[in-house]
Structure 1
Amino acid sequence: MSRPNILIYMTDQEQAQVSFPEHPCLMPRTEQFAGEGVRFRNAYTVAAHCCPARASFMTGLYPSRHGVYNNVNTHTAIHRGLNDGVITFSELLSEAGYRMLFSGKWHISNHENPCDRGWEELIVSSPGDRQSGIPPTARWEEAAKVSNDTRGRGQILRPGWGHYLVYDTYPDQGPKGYENDRDYQFVTAAKEVLPDLTESDTPWCLYIGPNGPHDPFNIPERFADMYDPDQIALPPSYHDQMEDKPRIYQRQRSQYWDQLSEAEVRESIAHYWGYCTMMDEMFGEVLDALEASGAAENTLVLRMSDHGDYCGAHGLYCKGVPAFREAYHIPLMARWPKGIVQPGRDSDALISIMDIAPTLLDLADIGPIPEGVAGRSLTPFFNESSPTSWRDTLYTQFNGVELYYTQRMVQTQTHKYIYNGFDFDELYDLVQDPHELTNVSDRPEYQDIKQDLVRRMWRTALAEKDIISNPYATVAMAPWGPGIAFE
């Protein structure tokens, strides 16, 4: 059998459950697609964080081997790209004669881009050395100008950080609603290159990486109106107060997400589902373009995501710590008319995002597999319903972000404040409590003192260029953000 072409449609932050037929989210093209191939119902990411997950997808390695532990583009990033000597599947496919094309989100390295790893670039989002390089302190100053008097619907107030938007709606941009959407630019670029690819006998690999349904769930009216929030049930775990779970989980919820009413939570879910439906519709356009090109028969198409989103589960949003299912469980489906036996099957085997790289190398007849690859080829699932031997355990690695277990302390003669990026903050009255036995951080009578000490902390950080901030929703935990330094 000739080597297949490869088309990868990889969304960002899509829960696995929305792609299942029993789920109320409408995914008609994805459901049709799954019926023409194999659906892996127990596929999981190795890290619920964009950069390490995508690096594991590209390499088949755990983060501990490829070296991408967290967001490579933050100003405080500890790791900014793949370790020396790490090889991606794209490099090996390119060396083996595949034409490689990339359209969409990169987010694997701060100093490399797809073209450095064997790809031809169509459009690249979250690139490496081509970022604008806006100083973080400039963002601090902008945050200082934001009013915190009124909270808008779907909005989280974060004094000194700037507001965080969970969901919103914008006017339709045409009959489809998404004509001017950035993700549609990725899809359009990929569709337009397909006729050129099929004119040659050279095998090809086309990657399409939309940013949706990554937060914020800001979508066109057409998709926002698809689901009635009043008919949406809250997640079964929504009322979990997490009293028996790590305090950082509780802090995320109590400090931010509990600002949303239950009605807003339902609206956020409606927007998330609408976003997923929009991603499904764009996927359908890709499939139609592939069919029109005449190359569908011998093209392996993968429909997947890098990780999920809590979207109200346990009262949380986004991803990262904690490690609940909604953030780790990912959609994964494969279709290859010429190569998959008995299409329309579901598999309950434990699958890892690391399995993609060795699968593609296997299909391209490339060997040996690079040293250290932990993923396994999925090709046995293409030939039979269950391989004779497969893993019975999944292992994941979440290495946090730069601020976990980070502390800053501000002390005067009378009081001591400790900012804990990983747990609740501490405030001690050194006059009444010289041995620091009682944390008074949450007592109402100490809030003015705490605010003053937090302001001093950020002013010192600003003066010393101590960039201890990351504005992302699951990380920005200081009770007042760096904007307070400008007050």
Structure 2
Amino acid sequence: MRLEATVIYGRYRNWASCLWSKAGSGLNKKWEGRVQLSKQLKQRPHVLYIMADQFHAECFGVAGRQVRTPHLDQLAGEGVLFEKAYCNNPVCAPSRASFITGQYPHTHGILGNDIHELNDRNEHTLSAVFRRTGYQTALIGKSHMVGAWDREGFEHLRYCDLCDCDRNDPLQNHYFKYLHDLGIANLYDLGTLKPEHPGSRVRAFESPIPEQHSLETWTGDETIAFLKNRDERRPFFAHMSFQRPHEPYTVPFDSGLLYDPDAIELPDSVSDLFASKFAGKPEIMRQLADTWGGIPYIPENEADLRRQLAFYYSLITRIDEQIGRVIDYLKQTGAYDNTIIIFTSDHGDFAGDHGIINKNIGIYESIHRIPFLLKYPGGPAGRKMAGIMESVDLFPTLCELCEVAAPAQIEGRSLMPVIEQGLPGKPFTACEWSFPKYSSTVNAIRTDRYRLVYYGQGEGELYDHASDPDELHNRFADSDYVAVRLQLLEQLFDHINRYRVKSSSTLSKAVSYRSRNTMTRLLHTGQRNWDEIKHLYR
């Protein structure tokens, strides 16, 4: 790469020298400045920023679960695995806002999920900053972000989730349009499903969409297409964002399950549901113990839980396959060694912990903790970091690696001193959540030893990971933990005591209601299929 840049520079410098006598030194210096900029851009590292949705932190091979993820395992072997990485919000859009702004939810103000059409320009997002610095930016897959932020930050957009398009025109969504053009839009099954559908109430099912047209394959195809057609004069910043393993948990009918449900090993913490019925948990958790289905998914029995996990694991392995395809392409084209690769998730999934599947109840380790892999040119290989880091730290880390000036608004800190100088991780991380099931915003704090979750009105949970890593025994009201509880509450309140809300669960609910009869909403959450509503399309 450096030799190529030198040759190009040499050729144009000779040409510029010929022009010296005709046009004077000004033209020569101007041209040399442009060539120097071109040389600098060609030497800067590329960025492949991979995100999955609702990916449990231990659900890949090197992290502990029995999931086959050879490409993620190889990536961990060539880079750094952060074993205590945490998101700053346990649901999609607010968490993604923290990643792309480097700010905590109480600063960026995004606490609701329905934000695509939010009128909020932001020139300081990760993608916008990199685009202005010369990177060719692309987002392929699920954004679930403010649409104006995407349009400002990404030159190339290919959406897959119906939350990322005009509420009156689902055909603006690239994946849905892809299915429509194939004549199979009626098979779209990624939204809320009809009661008679085998996947209703968030049950796992086989999709009638064949593997070659599945969401995972499409995401891999579109990412490779961008890389093939990119502007090779500039470094790329590609955000490859998988919509799953977020529910619904499906597999293509023609490839089927990749795991035998009977062979699935259940985590020890399933006893929290099946034996203890969430004893010691808040009342809202105990009420769930005698229900099944829905969000979160409370399985009927352990066999049902194994079946759900077989689908969840199958999705993860298929995502890993698509990541492998993209990595192989980078290696074939010679770009791999000069590419920073990140793999992470917006938040976790219970994935069987506590006997539950899915999310949207409490802020437990299963939901708060996320996978985080980082491979960069010249970086360490096969290193595991035990210190706490959080999603707001991604932005400043990439800025340092790519020599991009970080905006002053960023609240995260670069991970490079932790990796290369051995500095400790953060003393704690916080998670902030606005959810209608609770009367107030729910907040959590996680230190190396403790997790405290506060629901308001004096109700909460406190777990001591030194003796209870599965978070089974709630110590919130334990007299032996009074001092610990008060100290953690003080730390938490000092962290989140100033909110600037642009989107909350209440505001999102209002937006959803106003747009309830739009075509995109009917397809996404209204239990309608394309054949039933396509006559409305204009």
- Matching residue of 2:369: 329
Given candidates 148, 158, 162, the residue that maps to 1:112 is 148
SS at match of 1:185: helix
> Does the Cα contact within 8 Å between 2:216 and 2:318 map onto a contact in 1?
no
Kindly indicate whether the alpha-carbon contact (under 8 Å) linking 1:90 and 1:119 is maintained by their aligned counterparts in 2.
no
Alignment CA distance shift 1:126-1:54 (3 Å): farther
Task: Tell me the alpha carbon deviations over residues 324-369 of structure 1, each in whole angstroms, 9 at most, x when there is no partner.
Answer: 1111211111112x231x3111111111111111112222323253
| Higher deviation after alignment, 356-365 or 273-282 | 356-365
Q: 5 Å matches for 1:441-456? A: none
- The aligned residue for residue 315 of structure 2 is 275
Percent of residue pairs identical: 27
1:361/1:170 Cα in 2 relative to 1: closer, same or farther (>3 Å)? same
- Whether the 8 Å contact between 1:12 and 1:307 is mirrored in structure 2 is yes
Kindly state the Cα deviation for residue 256 of structure 1 after the two structures are TM-superposed. 2.7
Shift of the 315–128 alpha-carbon distance from structure 1 to 2, 3 Å rule, reads same
* Structure-2 residue corresponding to 1:414: none
2:111 matches 1:69: yes
What SS does structure 2 have at the residue aligned with 1:42? strand
In the alignment, is the contact (CA less than 8 A) between 1:15 and 1:327 conserved in 2? Answer: yes
* TM-score calculated relative to the size of structure 2: 0.64
Map of 1:124-273 to 2, 5 A cutoff? 124-128=160-164, 130-132=166-168, 146=195, 163-170=200-207, 173=210, 178-197=211-230, 200-220=232-252, 224-240=256-272, 241-257=277-293, 258=298, 260-273=300-313
| 8 A contact 2:139–2:154 mirrored in 1 | no
RMSD, matched Cα: 3.3
Q: Aligned match of 1:297 in 330, 337, 356?
A: 337
Report the secondary structure of 1:195's partner residue.
helix
Report Cα offsets for 1:280-335 as digits up to 9, x if no partner.
11110110111122111111011111111112322322223311111121111111
Structure (1/2) with the larger helix percentage: 2
Q: Is the deviation greater in 8-17 or in 120-129?
A: 120-129
What's the TM-score once normalised by structure 1's chain length? 0.70
Q: Which runs of 5+ in 1 are unaligned?
A: 74-78, 135-142, 156-162, 407-421, 424-463, 471-480, 483-487
> Who is 1:473 aligned against?
none
Deviations 1:144-172 (A, max 9, x none): 9846xxx96xx6xxxxxxx3132112468
The change in CA–CA distance for 1:5 and 1:13 in structure 2 (over 3 A counts) is same
Structure 1, residues 246-295: CA drift from partner, whole Å, max 9, x if none?
12222334333456222111111111111111111111011011112211
Which AA in structure 2 matches 1:310? F
Amino acid of the structure 1 residue aligned with 2:223 = A
* Unaligned segments of structure 2, at least 5 residues: 1-39, 171-191, 441-455, 458-509, 517-525, 528-538
Secondary structure of 1:211's counterpart equals strand
How far apart, CA to CA, are the structure 1 residues paired with 2:416 and 2:253?
41
Aligned to 1:475: none
Query: Relative to structure 1, is the Cα distance of residues 82 and 41 closer, same or farther in structure 2, using a 3 angstrom cutoff?
Result: farther
Matched, 1:5 2:37: no
In structure 2, the partner of 1:377 is: 414
Change (3 A) 1:57 1:82: farther
Amino acid at match of 1:56: S
Matching of residue 339 in structure 1 with residue 378 in structure 2? yes
SS across alignment from 1:303: strand
**1:397 maps to 2:437:** no
Letter in 1 for 2:130: L
How far the C-alpha of 1:466 sits from its partner, in A, is 11
| Alpha-carbon distance between aligned partners in 1 of 2:143 and 2:59, rounded to the nearest angstrom | 24
Q: Aligned partners of 2:515, 2:300: CA distance in 1, in Å?
A: 24
**C-alpha distance 288-317 of structure 1, shift in aligned 2 (>3 A):** same
1:15 aligns with 2:15: no
Q: 1:99 to 1:84 in 2, by over 3 A?
A: closer
2:69 aligned residue (23, 27, 30):
27
Structure 2 matches for 1:94-113, cutoff 5 A? 94-109=131-146, 111-112=147-148
Q: Does residue 1:365 correspond to 2:403, yes or no?
A: yes
Tell me how many residue pairs correspond in the alignment. Answer: 380
Does residue 89 of structure 2 align to residue 47 of structure 1?
yes
**Residues 209-234 of structure 1: CA deviation (Å, up to 9, x unaligned):** 11111111111357653322222233
Counterpart pick for 1:350 among 368, 388, 396:
388
- Cα drift, residue 117 of structure 1: 2.9
